[in-house]
Amino acid sequence: MSNQVSATDPTRNRILFAGMELFGRKGYQSTSIADILLAAGAHSGSLYHFFPTKQDLLLAVLEMYRDGIEPMLLAPAWQHVADPIERIFALLASYRRALEQTDCTYGCPIGSLALELHEPDPPVRELLAVNFLGWVNHVRLCLEAGRQRLPRDVDTDALATFILTTMEGGVMQARTHRSLSAFDISVAVLRDYFKRLESDAKGEHR
Amino acid sequence: MSNQVSATDPTRNRILFAGMELFGRKGYQSTSIADILLAAGAHSGSLYHFFPTKQDLLLAVLEMYRDGIEPMLLAPAWQHVADPIERIFALLASYRRALEQTDCTYGCPIGSLALELHEPDPPVRELLAVNFLGWVNHVRLCLEAGRQRLPRDVDTDALATFILTTMEGGVMQARTHRSLSAFDISVAVLRDYFKRLESDAKGEHR
């Protein structure tokens, strides 16, 4: 009960969104408690009340990403896209928009945290992994929905993992080059792979 | 001349290798000056003589990676592999070994630094980008050498970029899951893509 009350407390939410924004933009280690208090317009007493340590805030941010994957990420990306394979490319396009809107400084907050934190504590690593697995699972469901367009021997779980690989590797290079080019190239090559998969699937049905 | 002398100074080299090891294992921001001095067995006077700031050491480490791509990375990976396409997979296998030997905590130091440093100063970002471009260029040369096995419309530069994407995205997930699985899956799907490319190229020659 007390958890439910605190989960909707406006001050807690302001701190949570400030942490989400700062960890994504500046990184976890570069974000100070002072940064969080300033961005949230909160006092240190409130911060320590809701999040005794910075890691507690990080865990809450990662839980918010985990719970937000459908309402915050997929629903907006898929609003006008019904085709299951096109939904995958629409999801990738939403990362492109994030890169474009931030001059290629912001891509995937989970990927950044995964590589920034060299030896994350087990609960942090667990939540990073859960976020990746949630993403992969939603993509896998798209692939399952488009199953008849893929060759019979395609493992949809493996292909979904590979699509996350493509997104993360593309975002990393785009951020480093401060240019969308490597991201666009990665998505275009993935498109070519799908084109060949769909063509091979047609061959099987002949 | 003084640069040449200092570039081979044994104390400078000890500091440089300590920085390389620590930035790769712990990350840049988590590595303290004290960590570097301890690992290098050096005094702070020597450190500041050769590298006035921690960023100067980072730049020298990134230059060492840039200059070391052939002798340190490619030569060992390609020692017993002549086939140009197989050289690409041998290069990927060398990252797998790094992951395996470190319980999946260490993969690609350039990728880690690229995502750890959220707003890297221009000279740092430039050297991260140069490292990526050097890697992609070597892979592109492999693809050029195996050109006749690929369909005519394949852009070898784009495909080389995509192979870096695959490596970096796979390493990121392997580190997060502390398991080789997502890396192995990513490489296996890339293999499948190559299989279909080579099969389509044979079709063109018929």
pLDDT digits over B185-201, tens only?
999 999 999 999 999 99
- The answer to whether A182 faces chain B, any CB pair under 8 Å, is yes
pLDDT digits (tens, 9 = 90+) for B172-186: 999 999 999 999 999
| A-chain residue closest to B168, CA distance | A169
Average pLDDT, chain A: 94
> How many percent of chain A have pLDDT more than 90?
87
pLDDT digits (tens, 9 = 90+) for B85-107: 999 999 999 999 999 999 999 88
| B-chain residue closest to A120, CA distance | B176
From B168's Cα to the closest Cα of chain A, the distance in A is 5
What sign for the dihedral angle of Cα A130, A134, A135, A140? positive
B31 contact residues in A (CB cutoff 8 A) = none
pTM of the model: 0.95
CA angle B48, B51, B55 (to 5 degrees): 120
Q: Answer whether A114 sits within 8 Å of B172, measured CB to CB.
A: yes
Query: Which of helix, strand or coil describes residue A81?
Result: coil
CB within 8 Å of chain B, chain A residues 145-174: 154, 158-159, 161-162, 164-170, 172-173
- The answer to whether B124 faces chain A, any CB pair under 8 Å, is no
pLDDT digits (tens, 9 = 90+) for A51-66: 999 999 999 999 999 9
Q: What angle in degrees, to the nearest 10, is found between the helix axes of A122-145 and A54-68?
A: 10
What is the number of other CB atoms lying within 10 angstroms of the CB of residue A199?
12
ipTM of the complex in this document: 0.94
- The answer to whether A105 faces chain B, any CB pair under 8 Å, is yes
Q: Answer whether A159 sits within 8 Å of B29, measured CB to CB.
A: no
A176 contact residues in B (CB cutoff 8 A) = 114, 125, 128-129, 132
Q: Which of B115, B117, B128, B194 to mutate to test the interface with A (most CBs of A within 10 A)?
A: B115
Q: Answer whether A118 sits within 8 Å of B172, measured CB to CB.
A: no
- The answer to whether B30 faces chain A, any CB pair under 8 Å, is yes
Contacts of A54 (CB under 8 A, 6+ apart): A28, A31, A33, A36
Distance from chain centroid for Cα A198 = 27
Q: Answer whether A166 sits within 8 Å of B161, measured CB to CB.
A: no
From B180's Cα to the closest Cα of chain A, the distance in A is 13
Q: Answer whether B112 sits within 8 Å of A118, measured CB to CB.
A: yes
What sign for the dihedral angle of Cα B127, B130, B136, B137? negative
B200 contact residues in A (CB cutoff 8 A) = 196
pLDDT digits (tens, 9 = 90+) for B2-51: 444 556 799 999 999 999 999 998 899 889 999 999 999 999 999 999 99
Which of A164, A175, A178 is nearest residue B173 as measured by Cβ atoms?
Answer: A164
- Asked if residue B1 has pLDDT above 50, the reply is no
pLDDT digits (tens, 9 = 90+) for A157-180: 999 999 999 999 999 999 999 999
Residue whose pair of structure tokens reads 């050289």 in the numeric block: B87
What is the number of other CB atoms lying within 10 angstroms of the CB of residue A44?
11
